[in-house]
């Protein structure tokens, strides 16, 4: 407590011990408070101040899929908060040989203070969270990528000064990143239009849940199959890969289906002149985004990637401390 007062930090007390599987389980106020904390932690880090809020804590990181940003930002984040992170690839654990994820969750709860998991199936992460007695953080599943969305909002806030009433256009696949983004935008009063080709739209069930949250916060969520309609007058343009991890065999069909959805110089003409371009990365240049855009003056993708670290430190400090 003394330490928190010294650095004037407010962890989000109501989140202590809570899982983070999707922002659907969090209140709009809690997400706003996490963003405030992320801003404060980033400010301290820029002055080389690293409050050891998680001294003696160990976070396990389980990966079923590749990662650069998620793995490294969680490891560095735990180090900066005075704790430790332990990387495990799922194939090296006994789950790779068929041990139930529920038994794994119970066992790991005896050693660790929290688990971050990147998994193929969201259902598996729910089973892990049900069995574990320690918090479980979703580091990407087939359905959601909540940590990414918090970093995205932090970046928009930093560049645009405020979130409420900003207009975001997500053009591309109705995937895990899009799902977490619509929920986070709904919580923080950001208007969001999703443009996806027919057959690649976001889940109707998740859209319905996000709409309910949006109504409470005055944000407008729209969906369309027309990228120009989505981008018109947008403050922020966001895209992600057309072929996510695990969908590689669909690549050719997806390249065809997403024709006309590339973020390029012609499309961005419809946005506000000072539009911001975001991408969760990794990107496929000249597929979902033209090189001139992702490497151009409106792009903040590397600031966005750095913000994974600061946003996740806010999550970790609140859930684990």
Binding site for ligand CP (CB under 6 A): 67-70, 140, 148, 280-281
Q: Is 244 near ligand NVA (CB under 6 A)?
A: yes
Pick the catalytic residue: 69, 118, 166, 179? 118
Neighbours of 212 (CB within 10 A): 10
- Cα(33)–Cα(43) distance, integer angstroms: 15
Cβ contacts of residue 3 below 8 Å, gap of 6+? 51, 52, 53
Using CB under 6 A, which of 86, 228, 245, 257 touches ligand NVA?
Answer: 245
**Tokens 């977490």 found at:** 180
- Over the window 260 to 299, marking each residue x when it contacts ligand NVA by CB under 6 A and - when it does not, the resulting string is --------------------x-------------------
The reply to whether 298 belongs to the active site is no
- Cα(171)–Cα(164) distance, integer angstroms: 20
Q: Is 241 near ligand NVA (CB under 6 A)?
A: yes
The entry of ligand CP, ligand NVA, none near residue 312 (CB within 5 to 8 angstroms by kind) is: none
Closest CA to 309 of 33, 58, 46: 46
The reply to whether 148 belongs to the active site is yes
* Residue with the CB atom nearest ligand CP in the bound state: 70
Q: Which one, 232 or 303, has the nearer CB to ligand NVA?
A: 303
The reply to whether 91 belongs to the active site is no
Using CB under 6 A, which of 22, 155, 176, 180 touches ligand NVA?
Answer: 176
Pick the catalytic residue: 113, 240, 254, 262? 240
* DSSP states along 238-288: EE--SS-TT-GGGHHHHHHHTTT--B-HHHHTTS-TT-EEEE-S---BTTT
Handedness of CA 302, 303, 306, 308 (dihedral sign): negative
Tokens representing 194?
């999703």
Q: Which one, 34 or 280, has the nearer CB to ligand NVA?
A: 280
Which residues of this protein are in contact with ligand NVA, per CB under 6 A?
Answer: 140, 175-177, 240-241, 244-245, 280
Q: Which residues are catalytic?
A: 118, 145, 148, 240, 280, 308
């Amino acid at each position: 407590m003394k330490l928190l007062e010294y650095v004037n930090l407010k962890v989000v007390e109501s989140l202590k011990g809570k899982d983070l599987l999707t922002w659907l389980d969090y209140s709009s106020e809690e997400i706003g408070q996490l963003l405030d904390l992320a801003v404060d932690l980033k400010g301290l880090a820029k002055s080389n101040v690293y409050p050891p809020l998680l001294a003696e804590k160990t976070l396990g990181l389980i990966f079923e899929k590749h990662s650069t940003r998620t793995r490294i930002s969680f490891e560095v984040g735990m180090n900066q908060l005075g704790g430790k992170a332990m990387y495990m690839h799922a194939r090296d654990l006994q789950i790779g040989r068929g041990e139930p994820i529920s038994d794994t969750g119970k066992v790991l709860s005896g050693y660790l203070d929290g688990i971050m998991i990147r998994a193929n199936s969201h259902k598996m992460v729910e089973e892990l969270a049900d069995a574990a007695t320690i918090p479980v953080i979703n580091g990407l599943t087939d359905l959601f990528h909540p940590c990414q969305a918090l970093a995205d909002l932090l970046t928009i806030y930093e560049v645009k000064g405020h979130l409420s009433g900003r207009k975001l256009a997500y053009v591309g696949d109705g995937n895990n990143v899009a799902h977490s983004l619509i929920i986070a935008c709904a919580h923080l009063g950001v208007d969001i239009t999703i443009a996806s080709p027919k057959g690649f739209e976001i889940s109707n069930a998740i859209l319905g849940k996000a709409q309910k949250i949006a109504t409470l916060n005055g944000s407008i969520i729209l969906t369309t199959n027309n990228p120009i309609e989505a981008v018109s007058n947008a403050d922020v343009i966001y895209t992600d890969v057309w072929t996510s991890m695990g969908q590689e065999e669909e690549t050719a069909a997806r390249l065809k289906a997403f024709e006309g959805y590339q973020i390029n110089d012609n499309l961005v003409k419809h946005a506000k002149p000072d539009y911001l371009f975001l991408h969760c990365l990794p990107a496929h240049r000249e597929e979902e985004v033209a090189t001139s855009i992702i490497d151009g003056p409106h792009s903040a993708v590397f600031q966005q990637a750095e913000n994974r670290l600061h946003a996740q430190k806010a999550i970790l400090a609140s859930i684990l401390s």
